[in-house]
Amino acid sequence: MFSIWVASSSTSQKRIYVPNISKLSSDDNVEQLECDYSAYVVYHKAETGFPCLSFDIVEDQFGSGEQRSQTFPMTAYLVAGTQADKDHHNRLLAMKFSNMNPVDDKKHNNDDDDDDDDEDEEEETLPDLSCASIPHSGCVNRIRCRRIGDKLIVANWSDHGAVHLWNMTDALNTCDEGDSQRIADFNKQNLHTKPIYSFNGHHSPGFGLDWSPVNDGVLATGDSQKHIFIWNVSDDGWKVDQLPLIGHESSVEDIQWSPNESTILSSCSVDRSIRIWDTRNRRHESAIIIADAHESDVNVLSWNRMEKAFILSGGDDGVIKVWDLRQVRRQTIKSSNGGSTSSSTSTSGGGCKPVATFKQHKGPITSVDWHRTDGTVFAASSDDHQITQWDLSVETDEQQDDDKETSASKRPKTDDSISDGGKQQRKEMEDDPIIGKLPPQLLFIHQGQKEVKEIHWHPQIPGLLISTAATGFDIFRTVSV
């Protein structure tokens, strides 16, 4: 969490600051926000020149699991696309974040200069960013990557209305080497690199984009004119089904494939609905419709990889909702020819209700993502410049009476964000009326960025969360997850 230092002539005090609830002093010279680094295990920042609306994490060969998350220094690979001031300044980026060490709380909180610091040792602990780039005409609305064979294939939406595929294997290998001269040579030699395939059949820009995690080379793309197209790779190259999935009444904002079923995908739209599709349906109509899922545009989706019946959604209304697809009521609807029947589901009116609803953010939700290995944990970002971490397994106050110790350990980790205070300080924080206003499922509020656009949990490093914003990238792991 962020805390406030209240400066005075002789002492300094701090109190917990909760966005949208706490109030700052009207005198800027009295109170200022300062990050409490003891709330983080890892926390690094990076800038790429121009900001990136979207990025994706590239899986590597260094293994996964808790052992990976506790091994330092950390390394992570990303692909991203820029939002530059001019079309021809935009780039696709392959990035390597390396030498990322844990937070040194004492170093961050020490206001006194230590003349005896070993500068050479400090330089060795600094994180490093290597970045190779390929020119891209226009802003990159969204980007997703997939390893297909020995190639890293990257798909991206351009704000010019086209979807491009790129082979960024060489770009990633170059930045992995970390040689600045090799990277400079690569960037110069690839000034005129073209995509391996481009699709202009959408006729409008879009944001919906996702690779199937089950079938290599299967991609779904959705545009602002409500169309969703399915892509496939074959021996003859890339092919796009010219008959789109039909059902949404307005712009498709996000797409998520099922984590375990090869023909099932979900989508959300400005029309306020969430739809589940089965690509085997020759009529290309959605099988499940959650109408009026939010009070306004449904911006983003995430499909739970552990508990596969659950989908997470975030809307322009600032609300985060959790949906259980098993609760959807199925109806059999007669087809238009009057002969056969087809099974489809509509939940307009009194249909499916979310199993959880959270209204913590004060701006539109820009990204949501389920934790990769914990089916009850997720993160969300918003236009209110905040990133929140949640745990659905945390019980409400009424339920906590049966298991106080367990619930206390899962309370929002503001308890640990001002550490070294002992039991008395922890009790004071638990009794803080501001903390009491927070939902018990809220674990953490991260700040420090402006206009957060997208977040992703690292698929191989449990708890490591990466975000992109107008002010750059944050790479962090909190004490909460």
Digit-coded pLDDT (tens) for 291-309? 999 999 999 999 999 999 9
For 204, the token pair is 């409008």
H/E run at residue 58: strand 52-58
Q: What is the pLDDT of residues 427-445, one digit of tens each?
A: 555 666 777 789 999 999 9
pLDDT band at 130 (very low <50, low <70, confident <90, very high): very high
> How far is the C-alpha of 6 from the C-alpha of 3, rounded, in Å?
10
Q: Which one-letter amino acid corresponds to residue 116?
A: D
Q: What is the pLDDT of residues 358-399, one digit of tens each?
A: 999 999 999 999 999 999 999 999 999 999 999 999 976 545
Helix (H, G, I), strand (E, B) or coil at 246: strand
**Range 34-68 burial, b when 16+ CB lie within 10 A, else e:** ebbbbbbbbbbebebebbbbbbbbbebeeebeeeb
> How far is the C-alpha of 82 from the C-alpha of 140, rounded, in Å?
6
Q: Indicate whether 420 pLDDT > 50.
A: no
pLDDT band at 187 (very low <50, low <70, confident <90, very high): very high
Give the model's pLDDT for residue 400: 52
pLDDT band at 248 (very low <50, low <70, confident <90, very high): very high
Mean pLDDT, residues 143-168 taken together: 98
Q: Provide the 8-state DSSP code for 330.
A: P
Q: What is the pLDDT of residues 114-129, one digit of tens each?
A: 555 555 556 668 999 9
Give the model's pLDDT for residue 109: 60
Mean pLDDT, residues 152-179 taken together: 97
Sequence-distant (≥ 6) Cβ neighbours of residue 179 within 8 angstroms: none
H/E run at residue 177: helix 169-177
pLDDT band at 113 (very low <50, low <70, confident <90, very high): low
Mean pLDDT highest for which of 8-22, 94-108, 362-376, 405-419? 362-376
Place of tokens 């074959």: 234
* Phi, psi dihedrals of residue 159, rounded to the nearest 5°: -70, 0
For 452, half-sphere exposure in the C-beta direction (CA atoms, 13 angstrom radius) is 29
Q: Judge: domain 36-392+441-478, CATH 2.130.10.10.
A: yes
Q: Indicate whether 342 pLDDT > 90.
A: no
Helix (H, G, I), strand (E, B) or coil at 321: strand
Give the model's pLDDT for residue 448: 94
pTM of this structure = 0.88
> How far is the C-alpha of 280 from the C-alpha of 262, rounded, in Å?
10
Q: What is the pLDDT of residues 58-108, one digit of tens each?
A: 999 999 999 999 999 999 999 999 999 999 999 999 999 999 999 986 666
pLDDT band at 138 (very low <50, low <70, confident <90, very high): very high
CA 440 to chain centre: 22
% residues pLDDT > 70 (the chain): 80
Sequence-distant (≥ 6) Cβ neighbours of residue 313 within 8 angstroms: 268, 274, 293, 294, 298, 300, 301, 320, 321, 323, 368
Return mean pLDDT, the chain: 86
Q: Indicate whether 348 pLDDT > 90.
A: no
